[in-house]
Structure 1
Amino acid sequence: MLIVFHGENASSFSPGFAGLLDVDAKIAVLPDELSSEADRRTYAAADVIVGTKYSGTLPTPAKLSLFHVPGAGYDAVDLEALPASAAVCNCFGHEQAIAEYVMAALLARHVPLADADSRLRQGDWRYWAGAAERVHDELAGRTIGLLGFGHIGKAIATRAKAFEMTVHVANRSPVVASPLLDRSFLLNDLGGFWESADFIVVSVPLTDGTAGIVGAEAFKAMKPSAVVFNVGRGPTIDEAALYEALTAGRIAGAVIDTWYQYPKPGENGVLPSRLPFHELTNVVMTPHMSGWTHGTIRRRQKTIADNILRGVRGEPLVNVVRQRA
């Protein structure tokens, strides 16, 4: 069996991968751009491909039985172009890391450790307990709105409840009542959702129905004190509407991890938007890092390896995006 890890992202999952398999397999790691004939031949010969993208411009892997995305999003995979013989699967395992990212960003806004440390080193006791003008905020009692209630939303809700927060959810399908939730909305009835939350976390996948789902009308409905997080896909929040809401002070701030433009392999100095978000002081910008941890890699490696072994044994695969013909 030939297993190909295609591209920089996928190659992160290759170290130690052979040790998770109990079958004879050859592992090849290929670059994003298949510029040599040897690389293109190897790709075309693959039985299994681990990769984040596929299109008709890539060699056709005629023997392919499994195309495994090493993440949740498969919007860069042209399912119609892949051989019908191949099942397509994705994997999660990033929800723990992303939930920690969200909680870290929330806590950073409410518990000013870094500022208190910096001030006290200069003899400034700005946050000293005992005077009303020196208090800082807390998360307990605040409302977090989760736009999307999949793996990520559920992980965030669990942690938010541990901090005694109120949890509102907006989801494509009705959400089963749960001790984690205080109120739920459907995606076709979001007016009340926008205005109900102090923090709104966007984690819906990018589809025709979710592109720009957070737009100008949504920002108008939000509290002026609201803070918006994006840990899903950049274009689920309208780029121009977000910039305008931040520059006009329509919302208090944003924490954005997923963006509108990304560097190509080997490209440096690329800003994440055509608009100057980097000049704003009310946005925290991170480079699509929220789910990228050692734990995420380990969990995803196990999912991919388990699916390969399931295929060998003729067992049903998990996280199937498209069944093989």
Structure 2
Amino acid sequence: MNTQPLKIVFHGQNAANFRHGFEALIAPEHEVLDLSDALDQTGERAHYESADVVIGIKLNADMPQSLKARLFHAPAAGTDAVNTALLPAHCTLANCFGHENAIAEYVIAALLMRHVPLARADQDLRAQRWTYWAGRPTALRTELGEQTLGLVGFGHIAQTVAGRAKAMGMRVHVANRSPISHAVVDQSWTLDGLHDFMGSCDAVVVCLPLTENTQGLIDATAIAAMRPDAVLLNVGRGAVIEEQALYEALKNRQIGGAVIDTWYQYPTPTQAECAPSRFDFASLDNVLMTPHMSGWTSGTVRRRQETLAENIGRLSRGESLINVLRGPLT
């Protein structure tokens, strides 16, 4: 089948992460260009406006219009920074996943740290302290497999986490917008039962994207419904958990702790470093803070490149696209 040559632009530093080696995955007749975040270099605005495919993570009123674009492809799952009202009517919006394996490993690793204190045992033994020596009643530790894991949302990430958790022997509970029936789910609630769900778990993992309906979903009341020794993990989007409510619950030791990978403030092209929140989470000893790293592996990059290339190939051949979030309006 003949393929139509396409002009493809990678917009910004985030998209550039998926650029290396990309030509090897697509037909040679396509044109691929790299554009800066600001689109302020000579000719960049014209290239952006005339592209058939835009690969990027944001679209807002301060940017030029992608007038010709038939496909706006996010190189990640989240598209909350894409104003869909600014997309051309003939343009498809698609996204990528491929990060679920990495995030599932992160979640299990973070949970295991709370039950298998290898670093503390090593540190103590180097100082001749046999803190966790078998045979001492005070050295007993807990087991992850005895715990109940709660998942808020049940998309790609949560389903993969659930499979890993089951392999560890955990019970799996789910809260989701629609009812869930799945082989690895022991009990599920719809979101009107969120508080009962929160109280049923030893660990709650937030896996939701950020939308108007999910922003602040895990608020002070939802956190108050958790068990006092339970841990809250966020690998979805920061603002799904209400920022001040989370900080105060941890500061007041209302819950057992938190593992936070997705935040409320991020570096920008003009500010390379910043605090992840307006609240001083760094001063708390019951939160594990990581810099939005849970899904960032070489495997994730490769799988997302393959999705981008697959959709570009399909578009050039006139075939149906995958991972479509919004199809053409005309």
Q: In the alignment, does 2:66 pair up with 1:61?
A: yes
From 194, 214, 217, the equivalent of 1:213 is: 217
Which one is further off, 158-167 or 121-130? 121-130
Instruction: Tell me the amino acid that sits aligned with residue 21 of structure 2.
Output: G
Unpaired runs of 5+ residues, structure 2, are: 1-5
Which one is further off, 299-308 or 60-69? 60-69
SS of 1:174 mapped into structure 2: coil
Instruction: Tell me the amino acid that sits aligned with residue 162 of structure 1.
Output: A
Q: In the alignment, does 2:122 pair up with 1:97?
A: no
Query: Structure 1 CA distance, aligned partners of 2:85 and 2:284?
Result: 41
SS of 1:99 mapped into structure 2: helix
Deviation (angstroms), 1:86: 1.3
From 27, 45, 49, the equivalent of 2:50 is: 45
Q: In the alignment, does 2:198 pair up with 1:198?
A: no
1:321 maps to: 325
2:278 maps to: 274
Q: In the alignment, does 2:293 pair up with 1:289?
A: yes
Query: Structure 1 CA distance, aligned partners of 2:155 and 2:249?
Result: 27
2:3 maps to: none
From 296, 302, 306, the equivalent of 2:310 is: 306
Instruction: Tell me the amino acid that sits aligned with residue 299 of structure 1.
Output: R
2:88 maps to: 83
SS of 2:121 mapped into structure 1: helix
**Residues 175-232 of structure 1: per-residue CA shift (max 9 Å, x gap):** 12x2201000001221210100000000111111111111111111110001000011
Give RMSD over aligned pairs: 1.1
From 256, 261, 269, the equivalent of 1:257 is: 261
SS of 1:114 mapped into structure 2: helix
**Residues 136-162 of structure 1: per-residue CA shift (max 9 Å, x gap):** 221012000000000000000000000
Query: Structure 2 CA distance, aligned partners of 1:118 and 1:38?
Result: 57
SS of 1:255 mapped into structure 2: strand
Which one is further off, 124-133 or 154-163? 124-133
Instruction: Tell me the amino acid that sits aligned with residue 304 of structure 1.
Output: L
Q: In the alignment, does 2:40 pair up with 1:31?
A: no
1:14 maps to: 19
Deviation (angstroms), 1:237: 0.3
Write out the 4+ residue segments of structure 1 that deviate beyond 4 Å after TM superposition: none
1:131 maps to: 136
Unpaired runs of 5+ residues, structure 1, are: none
Query: Structure 1 CA distance, aligned partners of 2:163 and 2:14?
Result: 29
Number of aligned residue pairs: 324
Q: In the alignment, does 2:250 pair up with 1:246?
A: yes
Query: Structure 1 CA distance, aligned partners of 2:193 and 2:140?
Result: 37
Query: Structure 1 CA distance, aligned partners of 2:304 and 2:273?
Result: 30
SS of 2:84 mapped into structure 1: coil
**Residues 6-35 of structure 1: per-residue CA shift (max 9 Å, x gap):** 111111101111101124112111121112
Q: In the alignment, does 2:133 pair up with 1:107?
A: no
Deviation (angstroms), 1:308: 0.6
Query: Structure 1 CA distance, aligned partners of 2:28 and 2:179?
Result: 42
Deviation (angstroms), 1:268: 3.0
Instruction: Tell me the amino acid that sits aligned with residue 200 of structure 1.
Output: V
Instruction: Tell me the amino acid that sits aligned with residue 207 of structure 1.
Output: T
SS of 1:140 mapped into structure 2: helix
1:227 maps to: 231
From 140, 144, 153, the equivalent of 1:148 is: 153
Query: Structure 2 CA distance, aligned partners of 1:288 and 1:31?
Result: 22
Query: Structure 1 CA distance, aligned partners of 2:29 and 2:270?
Result: 34
SS of 2:97 mapped into structure 1: coil
Instruction: Tell me the amino acid that sits aligned with residue 37 of structure 2.
Output: D
Superposition TM-score, scaled by structure 1 size: 0.97
Query: Structure 2 CA distance, aligned partners of 1:266 and 1:168?
Result: 42
Query: Structure 2 CA distance, aligned partners of 1:273 and 1:281?
Result: 16
Deviation (angstroms), 1:288: 0.8
Which one is further off, 145-154 or 31-40? 31-40
From 70, 74, 83, the equivalent of 2:75 is: 70
Query: Structure 1 CA distance, aligned partners of 2:268 and 2:111?
Result: 31
Instruction: Tell me the amino acid that sits aligned with residue 19 of structure 1.
Output: A
